[in-house]
Amino acid sequence: MDITDTIICVLSDMHSGSTKALIPNKFHQFKHSNHTPTPEQRDIWRHFEYCAKVIRKARARKRLIIIHDGDALEGSHHGSHQVVTHNPVEQLDIHVELMDYFMREVKYKDGDKLYYVSGTETHTNDYEEQCAADLGAEKTAHGNHVYDKLELTVNGFEIWVVHHGPRAGDGANIGNAMRNFLKNKVYYPCQQNNIKPPNMVITGHVHEPLFGAYIAWEGSGYHVVHGIINAAWQNKTRFGYKVAPVALNKIGLTHFEILASGDILPPKFELMGNHEERVKV
């Protein structure tokens, strides 16, 4: 991969097909149903438009790498009625339309890269592979279009991307799970197996954005493993309220710059406000 200033843009957990998730802002006619975006979906769409403008401006005269970090589709699971269509192919079409729009708006061009990471099989089955193929995502060494674990070297900076990882944490413990994950699951296993530890690990799944780090002294200097948890593009579903009833749910994307020198600039989280309805009496 060429050495040049590079913007890494990470979208995660789009859950296309969910009534609580991002969808193109238009009337949708499916084979057995139709759907008009709800007010909260229109809000999410406006934030999606805003994020595309931010990335378009940030990537000027830079290479762009877009990563989708799992759960491209909502699927049909847990008996949920909160889907615009139960047909996975129609959900796939929604996702491809969204990503195609985003790539056009950010001026995706030759030399840029698109990567897909696998999400939760309950949601996606194998349809992420078709999404990635339709969008021209980069292939794995085995010819697939979706990585279970993406290991990416950008300007000498080592990045691992997986879907499942730690939670952000609660209260005074926010960030502790990330630090322990980077220390116990990443840094020390690498040391024990004579593998160079990555400089950054990116995860998603929990819809709670966070930036953290584990810093280790290696005898002649410090090694820093950065950690990012991505936000999602889906408001909380009924199932979400079951498993995490009071956890905040954040909508948006993450982006950061890796300079040609190998230096990394702090990540930016482009987040919208909380969409949960407040009842006033």
Give residue 216's pLDDT band: very low, low, confident or very high (50, 70, 90): very high
Which residues contact residue 112 at a Cβ distance below 8 angstroms, ignoring those fewer than 6 apart? 63, 64, 65, 66
Short-list 180, 54, 73, CA closest to 126? 73
Q: Which fold has domain 6-271?
A: Purple Acid Phosphatase; chain A, domain 2 (3.60.21)
Question: Rounded distance, CA 41 to CA 174, Å?
Answer: 29
Helix (H) or strand (E) holding 258: strand 252-258
**Do residues 128 and 119 touch, judged by C-beta distance below 8 A?**
yes
What are 178-197's pLDDT values in tens digits?
999 999 999 999 999 999 99
Q: Is 219 helix (H, G, I), strand (E, B) or coil?
A: coil
- Domain segments of the chain as ranges: 6-271
Model confidence, pTM: 0.93
Over residues 151-177, the pLDDT tens digits come to 999 999 999 999 999 988 888 888 899
